[in-house]
Amino acid sequence: MLELCEISKTYKNKSALNCVSLSLDNGIYGLLGPNGAGKSTLMNIITGNLKPDGGTVKWNGESQQSMGAAYRSLLGYAPQQQGMYDTFTGRRFLSYMAALKGIEKKDILKEIERVLSYVNMTEAADRLIGTYSGGMKQRILIAQAVLGNPKLIVLDEPTAGLDPKERVRIRERIAALAGEKIILVSTHVVSDIESIAKEIILIQSGGIIAHAAVEELCRKYQASHLEEVYMKLFGEEESHVSVDSL
């Protein structure tokens, strides 16, 4: 179980997160909210890339900080396209990430083939990343996130840059991962998460305003589908970027 206990974060007197508390068990969760709502800050705190000003992240009751490397070993994270090595081939990049994750040498080749197949990148694996399209880079980032069979997977806009066919494929593969894992997916493409999410977390101005199954949210907000819920809550805000996409 992943627990967020009263997580707070402030940037230059602007509150990005204000006493956010969540408890997540196995399943897929969609994280939705307008630009500047606090999604990126929340994901960076969960992944250990950012320290909160207050509160604690816990895994099965033990704090993220005290777990150290053990926490990082159970985590898979796919940011939006950052930190790519254009002079590496896709296969070399995955080998490098596997080594960083501490995957045993005897298992690395088999694991790389598994994740390449998972994101439909086997044929392009020996090309330089610098020659990849945006969508191909996104698929390689997803592939490295699932290396080593992590228990906690955080995906930031995982279908950004993908064509409709590949978006469906990635959505199906994310759904197939569910079971003994916690998967948190931040996205602006509501349709990519509506059919596969166990629950939706709606965040606004640094706070959780709703956390429920799609059907429950639709009943609460008198909507026929999740996108209608989203537009009712955030439609006007989506035309404005509040704070540097916190």
Q: What is the pTM of this model?
A: 0.89
CATH of domain 1-74+190-246: 3.40.50.300
Q: Please, where are the H alpha helices in the chain? A: 39-46, 64-67, 69-73, 90-100, 105-118, 134-145, 164-177, 191-194, 214-220, 226-234
Find tokens 């989506």 and name the residue: 238
Walk along the chain (246 residues) and give the pLDDT tens digit of each residue.
Answer: 999 999 999 998 889 999 999 999 999 999 999 988 999 999 999 999 999 999 999 999 999 999 998 998 899 999 876 668 899 999 999 999 999 888 999 999 999 999 999 888 999 999 999 999 888 888 899 899 999 999 999 999 888 778 888 888 888 888 988 888 999 999 888 988 999 999 999 999 999 999 999 999 999 999 999 999 999 999 855 533 333 334
Per domain, the residue ranges of the chain are 1-74+190-246
Contact 198, 27 (CB under 8 A): yes
Q: What is residue 214's predicted lDDT score, i.e. its pLDDT?
A: 97
Find tokens 């006007």 and name the residue: 236
Among residues 220, 213, 233, 164, which one has the least CA distance to residue 192?
A: 164
Q: What is residue 236's predicted lDDT score, i.e. its pLDDT?
A: 59
